[in-house]
């Protein structure tokens, strides 16, 4: 079926992606689920795009982590399948994490540029979640110390890529503020459109 072209009188609002960045154990998955449910309960056309890599952790499939191109493709597909179907996507696994975790020299700068280009094609609200609760190593490959180091490295990576993030605490108070900020952004997009 051919896609119908929109007319000038129709309001077309580009999908907003809320990217939750942060170290392993910061509370991204919990927060993403909470934020998603809060938006849905307010009648927002939202979707939760979960972390493909976490599925592989639970499957104990460590080899897949050596292929960030594969992980990127899977995560990108999860986002693209809801493109133009929802107003907002909440994800605990932004696609820009693939070049951050990539250690295959074959992928190199070209992979980084490709993923960055795809990431920049979206209207994104970039969020950095700071862990406020005790570290829980279940379903993770990292220790608490490694997670803390990854948090610092990820922040530097994002700054180096020109990704501005607003920081939120990884607790209910922080997520309530995030919900309010998302609603404000969606309202401002409606008035701009």
pLDDT, mean of each 10-residue run, the chain (193 residues): 40 81 92 98 97 77 83 95 96 96 92 96 97 78 84 96 96 98 93 71
Residue 1 within any structural domain of the chain = no
pLDDT at 161: 95
Q: Which domain holds residue 121?
A: 16-185
Domains identified in the chain, total number: 1
pLDDT at 88: 98
Residue 193 within any structural domain of the chain = no
Residue with tokens 């108070």: 173
CATH code, 177: 3.40.50.300
Q: How many CB atoms lie within 10 A of CB 100?
A: 18
Residue 48 within any structural domain of the chain = yes
pLDDT at 13: 55
Residue 142 within any structural domain of the chain = yes
Strand-strand pairing, 16-21 and 46-49: unpaired
Which residues lie below 8 Å from residue 109, measured CB to CB, with a gap of 6+? Answer: none
pTM above 0.75, yes or no: yes
pLDDT at 138: 72
Residue 67 and residue 104: Cα distance in Å, rounded?
Answer: 7
Residue 62 within any structural domain of the chain = yes
pLDDT at 193: 60
Residue 10 within any structural domain of the chain = no
């Amino acid at each position: 079926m051919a896609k119908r072209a929109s007319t000038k009188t129709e309001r077309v609002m580009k999908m907003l992606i809320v990217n939750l960045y942060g170290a392993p154990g910061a509370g991204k998955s919990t927060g993403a689920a909470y934020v998603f449910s809060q938006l849905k309960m307010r009648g927002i056309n939202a979707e939760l795009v979960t972390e493909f890599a976490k599925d592989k952790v639970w499957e104990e499939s460590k080899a897949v982590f050596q292929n960030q191109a594969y992980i990127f493709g899977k995560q990108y597909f999860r986002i693209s399948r809801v493109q133009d179907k929802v107003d907002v996507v909440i994800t605990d696994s932004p696609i820009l994490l693939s070049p951050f975790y990539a250690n295959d020299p074959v992928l190199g700068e070209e992979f980084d540029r490709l993923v960055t280009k795809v990431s920049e094609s979206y209207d994104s609200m970039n969020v950095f979640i700071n862990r406020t609760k005790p570290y829980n190593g279940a379903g993770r490959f990292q220790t608490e110390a490694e997670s803390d180091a990854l948090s610092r490295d990820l922040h530097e990576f994002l700054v180096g890529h020109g990704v501005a993030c607003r920081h939120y605490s990884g607790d209910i108070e922080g997520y309530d503020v995030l919900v309010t900020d998302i609603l404000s952004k969606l309202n401002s997009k409606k008035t701009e459109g």
